[in-house]
């Protein structure tokens, strides 16, 4: 199942909601949201810096990842939500082994 990193930065209302729900409450909500797509939450981290929260999720498709990210962003509780498709070492090795027919510009 594909893995995705979803990261976000809360706005003031989102931080108020986080204080109310607690981090464990948000974790339960994300577990339920992933489960509704037949996926799962691998891990949820909170951080100091430009982004407030990082989640790594297993979802069955990019469509489900986009749907979840859109729902998170549409909640109005974040100033920024970004989703990154992740590859395993084996997947990257497979990609590196592909015979790509790409030609750089000007060559």
Return the CATH number at 45.
Answer: 3.30.70.1060
The domain containing residue 75 runs over which residues? 3-89
pLDDT class for 22, splitting at 50, 70, 90? very high
Predicted TM-score (pTM) of this structure: 0.89
Q: What is the mean pLDDT of residues 27-46?
A: 97
Residue 102 lies in a domain: no
Q: Evaluate whether residue 82 is within a structural domain.
A: yes
Contact 21, 75 (CB under 8 A): no
* 98 belongs to a structural domain: no
Query: pLDDT per residue over 50-107, tens digit each?
Result: 999 999 999 999 999 999 999 999 999 999 999 999 999 999 999 999 999 998 999 8
pLDDT at 107 (0 to 100): 86
Distance CA(87)–CA(89), nearest Å, equals 7
Confirm whether 101 is domain-assigned. Answer: no
Q: Do residues 7 and 81 make contact, with C-beta atoms less than 8 angstroms apart?
A: yes
Number of domains making up the chain: 1
Q: What is the pLDDT of residue 25?
A: 98
79 is a domain residue? yes
- Strand-pairing partners, residue 59, are none
């Amino acid at each position: 199942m594909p893995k995705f990193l979803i990261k976000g930065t809360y706005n003031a209302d989102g931080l108020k909601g986080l204080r109310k729900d607690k981090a464990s409450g948000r974790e339960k909500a994300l577990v339920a949201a992933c489960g509704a797509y037949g996926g799962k939450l691998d891990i949820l981290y909170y951080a100091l810096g430009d982004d407030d929260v990082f989640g790594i999720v297993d979802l069955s498709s990019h469509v489900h990842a986009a749907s979840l990210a859109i729902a998170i962003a549409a909640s109005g509780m974040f100033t920024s939500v970004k989703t990154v498709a992740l590859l395993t070492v084996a997947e990257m090795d497979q990609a590196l082994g592909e015979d790509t027919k790409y030609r750089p510009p000007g060559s």
